[in-house]
Structure 1
């Protein structure tokens, strides 16, 4: 892990300097998120409304290839295992263009999900429309949605899962868990947004 930290720092700096703001409009905290229907790695189409007993969702834009996304996979698995039984399952979405990033093809997603034994849905945003709608720019980029009394999905938190993308042993602030704990306790989320750190989403060439 120690050897990978300088590389991750360089990757993070490169991502910050070269990020193209292709998504100017996206969800803000407090907005109502519209449902979507995407293909899961099991070949089945999935939407938010399919999980009727959910209190909300941890929607995470991620991928197979980004070093940051890979470092967060185990933490996402742990997050799902802890909060899915409480009503907040993780839903991972891969928005990367396969031409720009062949390692993020649907077949590779299936391989990755099998190898890592993902307990959560891993969906393919082939058209990138869902990522654009949310305003996602990086992998990983996390959105916590809370179901309201009338069944709408309200955005409660946007940003990073925690405050150390490189080393889980050095995490001192668990942003997503803190937000989820507040929602489960019917309390106001104190910190509703943080900066997502990761690789830029690989948009289709025509989008640029």
Structure 2
């Protein structure tokens, strides 16, 4: 496990790269399919990463607290790491109680979407407003390990500000986690 800090080249206000990917059940989901939401939280994640596992409770809370926000998990490791395979993605969703009508877990098999966003680690979150412009690029919260207590729910605060149409937070602490397992 290698700790990587996110440093995406995507800037606040940039239009997010479009995508259309399959979910683990073989259904296509594109960014434009989510136009009816007030925002989209794109999180590059995977099944095995201990940093993702430490954040699944936060993802579940955000999913339950903000039904007007679509949460899209994108797995760029599905073809490069056996624990992150498509076959195991459904189990991950079920085990972590993330299955809902506004949580989507998608496969980025060729890793082109991760590259377009400049994702570097898992989890690596990007909060997009209703126009699909980047509003917040930072950590979900200040918890980095399973035994740590959450002191600051950064993403929740960012979503609340975005929904009130306030300016993006000045401080956007980067996410950190395992590096994406890039294809050679």
Same fold (TM over 0.5): yes
Flag the structure with more relative contact order, 1 or 2, with Cα contacts below 8 A and sequence separation at least 6: 2
Unaligned runs of 5+ in 1: 1-10
Q: How many equivalent pairs are there?
A: 181
Match of 2:35, SS state, is coil
1:22-44 C-alpha deviation (Å, 9 max, x unpaired) = xx974211110132000112220
Match of 2:58, SS state, is helix
TM-score, scaled relative to structure 2: 0.89
User: In structure 2, what is the equivalent of residue 204 of structure 1?
Assistant: 183
User: In structure 2, what is the equivalent of residue 89 of structure 1?
Assistant: 70
TM-score, scaled relative to structure 1: 0.80
User: In structure 1, what is the equivalent of residue 138 of structure 2?
Assistant: 159
Unaligned runs of 5+ in 2: none
Change (3 A) 1:174 1:182: same
Cα distance between partner residues in 2 of 1:25 and 1:124: 20
Is residue 2:92 matched to residue 1:112? yes
Match of 1:33, SS state, is coil
Cα distance between partner residues in 2 of 1:78 and 1:125: 25
Change (3 A) 1:96 1:177: same
More helix by share: 1
Change (3 A) 1:59 1:192: farther
CA contact (8 A) 1:58 1:89 kept: yes
Larger radius of gyration: 1
Cα distance between partner residues in 1 of 2:13 and 2:34: 21
1:112-151 C-alpha deviation (Å, 9 max, x unpaired) = 1233232311001000000000010000000000023xxx
Match of 2:98, SS state, is coil
CA contact (8 A) 2:54 2:143 kept: no
Q: How many Å apart are 1:110 and its aligned residue? A: 2.0
